[in-house]
């Protein structure tokens, strides 16, 4: 079996390491998602209805539904909290307070 040049090049291409800004943005988005999940929980999102609910199983997995919804909200732009957090963390990391 012969390896082609493309196969060799593809095997040597390593994924780029995330930059400091990538890590800061990821942390900011996770924090915004956690904040939104708490707000959704407080608003009653995912609460089991009194009648015709899914029972104990629904109650057990409601937090996963809330977190997934919050993650999707952040992916769609969120409420702008992640961007504000990112800028603040970036300034602090740069030492330009």
The per-residue pLDDT for 80 is 95
What is the rounded CA–CA span in Å between residue 27 and residue 24? Answer: 5
pLDDT score of 5 more than 80: no
Does some domain include residue 19?
yes
- How would DSSP label each residue in 20-44? HHHHHHHHHHHHHHHHHHHHHHHTT
* 72 found inside a domain: yes
d(CA 14, CA 68): 30
- Tell me the per-residue pLDDT of 37-78, one tens digit each, with 9 for 90 and over: 999 999 988 776 666 666 677 778 888 999 999 999 999 999
Domain-located, residue 5: no
- Higher pLDDT, residue 58 or 9: 58
Residue 9 inside a domain? The answer is: no
Is the per-residue pLDDT at 7 higher than 60? no
CB 33 within 8 A of CB 73: yes
- 48 lies in some domain: yes
Question: Is 60 part of any domain?
Answer: yes
Residue 31 structural domain: 15-94
What's the pLDDT band for 15 if we cut at 50, 70, 90? confident
Domain tally for the chain?
Answer: 1
Residue 97 has pLDDT above 60, yes or no: no
Return the percent helix, strand and coil in the chain, to nearest 5.
Answer: 70, 0, 30
Indicate whether this model's pTM tops 0.85.
no
- At residue 35 the predicted structure's pLDDT band, cuts being 50, 70 and 90, is very high
């Amino acid at each position: 079996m012969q390896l082609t040049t493309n196969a060799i090049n593809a095997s040597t291409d390593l994924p780029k390491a995330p930059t400091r800004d990538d890590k800061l943005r990821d942390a900011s988005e996770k924090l915004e998602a956690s904040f939104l999940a708490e707000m959704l929980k407080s608003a009653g999102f995912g609460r089991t209805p009194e009648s015709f609910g899914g029972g104990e199983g629904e109650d057990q997995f409601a937090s996963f539904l809330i977190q997934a919804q919050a993650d999707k909200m952040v992916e769609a732009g969120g409420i702008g909290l992640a961007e504000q957090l990112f800028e603040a963390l970036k300034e602090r990391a740069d030492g330009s307070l």
